[in-house]
């Protein structure tokens, strides 16, 4: 995995007057790019998201892990836990980062996917609703899709919801969200896993499921076949 890490480039993205830090990794002959929206109280340094990103990189996907909050906002959020639930703010930041990617010559023509965790999944779904078919696929890990509100009804990107079998409250919220998303969607329950997927083999399962989903839907030809089926 060291080869993918060697290609990692720190980036700074200006969105709504704020500068956000990110890490962009582009494997050789990248066939798509996945933006990560981290969860409650986390950052681009989340070891769980970094693990999934590394697996995706080995499968030929570029990844962008970024902080959705500035350092000062993170300090405020650490005290109040308020900004992590400001889904509108997080979604605007994610959409801004997506538009930044589209202006990068190496990224402009690549299919784009979102990987969201916890509250970040809600931001990913709101962003996908806003950008429509420009977002090729969404994967949610232990997500809170309920926090996306009415935006769920406008999500056309194929959406994979991954939930731990022992994360009962979140599982029920995801089941309800499934009834609202009009696009193609799938709910996968990882037996024995809790909210953070810390159990042995749980995160590996998440990475495998995400890779398979992006393998299918970040390939324009495959996506076209799936929608016409």
3-state secondary structure of 183: coil
Residues 12-15: contacts with CB under 8 Å, at least 24 apart: 13/66, 13/96, 13/97, 13/100, 15/92, 15/93, 15/96, 15/97, 15/100
> How far out from the chain centre does Cα 177 lie?
17
CB 147 within 8 A of CB 85: yes
Cβ distance 84 to 129 under 8 Å? no
Whole-number percent of the chain with pLDDT over 90: 76
Instruction: Quote the CA–CA distance of 80 and 26 in Å, as a whole number.
Output: 35
Eight-class DSSP state of 106: T
Chain centroid to CA 72: 23
Q: What is the pLDDT of residue 25?
A: 96
| Residue 138 maps to a domain | yes
Residue 170 lies in a domain: yes
Question: How confident is the model over 128-132, as a mean pLDDT?
Answer: 98
> Quick check: is 86 in a domain?
yes
Q: Is the dihedral of CA 19, 22, 26, 31 positive or negative?
A: negative
Q: Does 103 score more than 60 pLDDT?
A: yes
Residue 92, domain member (yes or no): yes
The answer to whether residue 194 sits within a structural domain is: yes
| Contact indicator for 90, 119 with CB cutoff of 8 Å | yes
Q: Any idea which of 15-19, 26-30, 123-127, 222-226 has the lowest mean pLDDT?
A: 222-226
Range of the domain at 218: 2-222
Predicted pLDDT of residue 227: 52
Q: How far apart are CA 188 and CA 78, in angstroms?
A: 31
Strand duo 62-66 + 33-37: pairing: parallel
Judge whether residue 41 has pLDDT over 80.
no
- Is 1 a residue whose pLDDT tops 50? no
Q: Is residue 229 part of a domain?
A: no
Convert the pLDDT of each residue in 65-91 to its tens digit.
Answer: 999 999 898 888 889 888 888 999 999
**Residue 211 · residue 219 · CB < 8 Å:** no
We report the CATH number of the domain holding residue 183 as 3.40.50.1820
Predicted TM-score of the model (pTM): 0.92
Give domain status of residue 128, yes or no: yes
Q: Is residue 24 part of a domain?
A: yes
Residue-wise pLDDT for 12-26, tens only, equals 999 999 999 999 999
User: How many folded domains does the chain comprise?
Assistant: 1
pLDDT over threshold 70, residue 42: no
- In angstroms, rounded to a whole number, what is the distance separating the alpha carbons of residues 25 and 39? 20
Whether residue 221 is predicted with pLDDT greater than 60 in this model: the reply is no
The arithmetic mean of pLDDT across residues 153-169, rounded, is: 98
- Partnered with residue 63 across adjacent β-strands are 25, 34
């Amino acid at each position: 995995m060291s080869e993918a890490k060697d290609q990692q480039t720190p980036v700074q993205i200006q969105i709504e007057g704020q500068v956000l830090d990110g890490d962009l990794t582009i494997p050789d002959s990248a066939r798509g790019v996945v933006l990560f929206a981290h969860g409650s109280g986390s950052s681009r340094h989340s070891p769980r998201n970094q693990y999934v990103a590394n697996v995706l990189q080995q499968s030929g996907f570029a990844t962008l892990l970024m902080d959705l909050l500035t350092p000062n906002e993170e300090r405020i959020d650490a005290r109040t836990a308020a900004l992590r639930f400001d889904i509108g703010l997080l979604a605007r930041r994610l959409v801004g980062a997506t538009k930044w990617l589209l202006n990068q010559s190496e990224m402009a023509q690549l299919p784009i996917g979102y990987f969201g965790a916890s509250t970040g999944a809600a931001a990913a779904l709101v962003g996908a609703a806003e950008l429509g078919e420009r977002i090729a696929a969404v994967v949610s890990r232990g997500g809170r899709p309920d926090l996306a509100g009415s935006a769920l009804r406008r999500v056309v990107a194929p959406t994979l919801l991954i939930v731990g079998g022992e994360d009962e409250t979140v599982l029920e919220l995801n089941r309800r969200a499934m009834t609202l998303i009009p696009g193609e969607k799938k709910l996968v329950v990882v037996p024995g896993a809790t909210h953070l997927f810390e159990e042995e083999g749980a995160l590996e399962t998440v990475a495998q499921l995400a890779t398979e989903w992006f393998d299918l839907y970040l390939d324009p030809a495959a996506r076209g076949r799936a929608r016409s089926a």
